[in-house]
Structure 1
Amino acid sequence: MSYPPISEQVEDLDAARAEGHRKIEWAREHMPILAALREEFEADQPFAGQVIGMAMHVEAKTAALTQLLADGGAEVAITGCNPLSTHDDVSAALDEHPRITSYAKRGVDDEEYYAAIEAVIAHEPTVTVDDGMDMVAAIHEDYPELIDSIIGGCEETTTGVHRLRAMDDDGALRYPVFAVNDTPMKRLFDNVHGTGESALANIAMTTNLSYAGKTVVVAGYGDCGRGVAKKAKGQNAHVIVTEVEPRRALEAHMEGYEVTTMADAAERGDVFITTTGNRDVITAEHFERMNDGVVLANAGHFDVEVNLDELSALAVEEREARDGVREYELPNGNRINVLAEGRLVNLAAPTALGHPVEVMDQSFGVQAVAVRELVEHGDQYEAGVHDLPDELDREVAEIKLAAEGVEFDTLSEEQREYMGSWAHGT
């Protein structure tokens, strides 16, 4: 199916664009890293002649990155990476830029979602920027003839990197992709602080409930789970962690959290937050053990962590208890409340705004320098998943510190020599 840009789908386009620009301007005011890079990119036009295809959460912070790439000379086509995370007004504002075409629209069905991705691919991108790997997958499966003209790609999130590494292990990934998610400036801040703060904030706003005194069950103790657990504990909740990886389970235990199985936690939790990136983390065997009124939210990428098909099959009645809250009543009378249709709660809930602006400034700063690296030195990278060169990640950190007025020490030549030598002993 042919899929139109957002400007052909939104009612009262002028009003939508005005509100979208207002949101984007607020974000840009609090993104000093992108501001510094914008000066460089506008002057140097590093992306002139490039077509960048993006599948991202289309909201104000993402818009700031998209505009940055376009202002650096690129033609950009963008769509969403989650059916419920797009802000239509922001998408409409982006589409007004002379070098940006936005197909992102909130609330699309599966057919429309993939048609929008295909519409982006029809621009024949030379660089891809993904959040979840759906665009990379679509190109490889349906448009392999474009691969030879693609310099490389960047992947934003944990789930996408996992998928890419699996694809790479199978020898199926045919162009280089930077694992932006794995850089320290992304992983240590976006995943820990961004996910921790935004997931809990959006659960609270959607339910109007407190964490104090409740038992919060966090499924998964990677960077995202660590952030959620830390922030929930800081709001006076009792935190239970479930894990499948023994070293992470031990880490959570040593951090002072109760660690147990989901089967055990299901009987005691008040709020359940999944952060695993895997499927069937909470299933029928757990639903049947849960107490009345529990809240279930997913902070992973795809809507597969809570098995909603099994929950719906168990339920004797379903209703919308609040905006963004689906209540399932079980035969025993207990009610289970699922937020945002089991999708990414910090972006798909009705009031969701995603991660804090300052956090995404860092993540998108890394994305921007990663795209610059591909354009300038893409021929140096073979097909496969690559770590971003550490000096680029440090560049983004230094820009942030300068913007915050923070001074830090540097190594002397003697110290640098000492740290780089094996000959110095005690």
Structure 2
Amino acid sequence: MEKYVDGAVYLKKNIPGKLLRFFREKNEKFVIADIVGIVVLKKIIYVFLPKNTDESKINLNHLNILLNTLKKSTNLLTGVGNDNFELEKSDLTKTIEWLINDFNNNGVYKVVEKDLYSGEGGKIQWDKTLKKEVPLYANENLIFMDFVRKKKKISDSVITQIHKHVLNNLSQNYGKFFNFNFSEVLNFRLSLTEINNILMKQLKVERNERKKNLILNLYNYLNLTSSENSEFYYVTRDFHVIFESALKSVMNHKKELKKYVPKAKWNLRIRNVEYSSKNTQIPDVLVVRKEFIDIYDAKYYSLIDFVERKGNKTTPLDWYSVGKQFLYDFTFPYEKIGYNPGTNNFVFPGYPITNFIKDIGDVSLSINGISKKINVKLIDTFDLLNKAFLSV
């Protein structure tokens, strides 16, 4: 397993060619990791970790937290600009998800045959009974002593064996990413060409829609995994959206307070036409703490990059980010709505972090004798994701 950290810089010549599309260029010699997620190429696992993560501390449990968060992300991200969130999945990843969901809902492929027989049980087939059975005549009535009945017979087939073969392979190579386990000993010796011919032949005669989709996905899985160019990936370039959403959830964001945040109003007259519009301030997280209101801003930025740029000569954030955070505090009408000013905070991701969240400093500003500060904090990214999205 090889590990990279989102936002960190790497020597371009050391990155496998097929992996370079998950980086952006810094210059001719260096590239910057640009995603968070899991990539598997030629059975080698490449993990792209959130910013400010110490990759030496990462184990399989962290991978599960990350992957489970990504798998749930499209359903979890509501009200935090998720229209701009994109989860990238390869064709192989989509096929694996379909096969696992289908197996969990329907089990392995089975052949359903309808047998006709004489005896008890099963549905009476009157047209066949009238043609085959001779009734007795008694008391001016016809009495049938036997009936032709139809009964479903469920059995395995060569498609069943192919399905089990695929599930075995999937479980062995990708099951750890989906908490999926399947194991069955098979005497299976068909070549890929033979399997493809069998699947395509069955597809032509199959009428059941679910089984047709299953056959197609079995075909896709076998052919995608047999290729030298097979790719499994589950990644996003928009992890900042997940980070902000998780912070809102864990900090118990009170979105109803946003209506009190003042807006800057424009009043213009251009060519004898009057215009009026507003700039809206949008703090990420507003928290009620007893009689106080605290303000938090999720900052999914790399502090490693800041340190490597010689921290005393630069800043982690630009003036726009700092200025608007101070303005949130300066303009919020605390007393008007019955609260007192609380803390103002920048929150950066990190791992590992002792005690979940810790202060690493502040940003201070004095205007006309009024001093304000923004606390700078690091929060444990994996603990945050677990608390926000995965805890029962």
The answer to whether TM tops 0.5 is no
Larger RCO: Structure 1 or Structure 2 (Cα < 8 Å, ≥ 6 residues apart)? 2
Q: Which structure has the highest strand share of the two?
A: 2
TM norm structure 2:
0.27
